[in-house]
Amino acid sequence: MSKKVLITGATGDTGRATVRESIALGLNVRAMVRRKDERSTALEALGAEIVVGDLLEINTVRDAMEGVDAAYLVWPVQPGLINATVNFAQAAKETGVKTVINLSQRSANRESGSDSCRDTFIAEEVLNWSGLPVIHLRPTYFLEWLLYPWQLPYLQKGILRMPVGKGRHSPIAAADQGRAIAALLKDPDAHIGTTIPLSGPVEMDHQQMAAELSEALGRKIVFQDLPVDEYCRSIEAMGVPPYIVQHLGGAMNDFQHGHMSGADNNVETITGRRSMTVGEFARLHANTLNAQ
């Protein structure tokens, strides 16, 4: 019988990729979703067992974990992370889950001005206190950021607009994270108790990122830096939720001070294939990024 795994946040960016990659590796996948809709139907068509649950409702989490060998925890940038983590840990202990994969963030930092970054640090500590066999993953910013509704309209007009100064990072696609998560769900033993950074293959600043986007998309993309406060006011006016605005205010300041810097080959080490570059991601999504 194949190993049974639970994937929470299964309709999100990393969740969808992890479901797909876990099934490809021969794992028996149970996908937890908030509600059944066309997204969960697509996962079911891949071969996933669909369960409805809410990380803020402990009994639904426990029920979803029954009979599971390993479980993946992910929470969006919104309030509730610590509560969700405590529920997840308690359910995992009650049901005897043997491995927990926790998607943290590179900017997890007790001293950050971002509520989300501070909560992510505490959530890691909660899982460590629990005594569960846990692996923490700390990805840098997602390449999917380029497609977010407060970024995409500017890119379509040729502007990479971020308040990051000369800060550097190596952005990573959700698909590459999904490959790494699936591989760890299948074979976690060598990594239990570790914290693994996940990034793209090349560290760069946003001037360099704009240049690579220009080459990939066949048109000029210009980096526009701006003050963090001005950026936050502008995305708030676009309807970005207050919690995300507050998070970005602190996280962008952290970014400017090097908290997102560095590159690694951990995806390649774990999966046997490197993560995609900025240019490769842009070409993959060129129709969207070039739309007017």
Q: Residue 6 and residue 28: Cα distance in Å, rounded?
A: 9
Q: What is the dihedral of CA 30, 121, 196, 198, to 10 degrees?
A: 80
- What proportions of the chain, in percent to the nearest 5, are helix, strand and coil? 50, 15, 35
Q: What is the pLDDT of residue 292?
A: 72
The DSSP annotation for 14-31 comes to HHHHHHHHHHHTT-EEEE
Q: What is the pLDDT of residues 239-266, one digit of tens each?
A: 999 999 999 999 999 999 999 999 999 9
Q: What is the pLDDT of residue 149?
A: 93
Which residues of the chain carry a pLDDT beneath 70? 1
Q: What is the pLDDT of residue 21?
A: 98
3 state DSSP class of 134: strand
Helices (H), 51-161: 58-65, 81-95, 115-130, 152-156
Give strand pairing partners of 243. Answer: none
Q: At a CB cut-off of 8 Å and minimum separation 6, what does 21 contact? A: 178, 179, 181, 182, 183
Reference 119, options 134, 104, 137, 141; nearest CA is 104
Q: Indicate the angle between helix axes 174-186 and 13-24, nearest 10 degrees.
A: 50
Q: What is the pLDDT of residue 26?
A: 97
Q: What is the pLDDT of residue 1?
A: 60
Q: What is the pLDDT of residues 61-118, one digit of tens each?
A: 999 999 999 999 999 999 999 999 999 999 999 999 999 999 999 999 999 999 999 9
Q: How far is CA 114 from the centre of its chain?
A: 17
Q: How far is CA 233 from the centre of its chain?
A: 25
Q: How far is CA 113 from the centre of its chain?
A: 20
Q: Residue 271 and residue 279: Cα distance in Å, rounded?
A: 21
- Residue 38 CB coordination number (10 Å): 7
For residue 176 the two structure tokens come to 């590459």
Going from the N-terminus, what domains does the chain have, and what CATH number goes with each?
Answer: 4-140+174-198+262-275 (3.40.50.720)
- Residue 160 CB coordination number (10 Å): 21
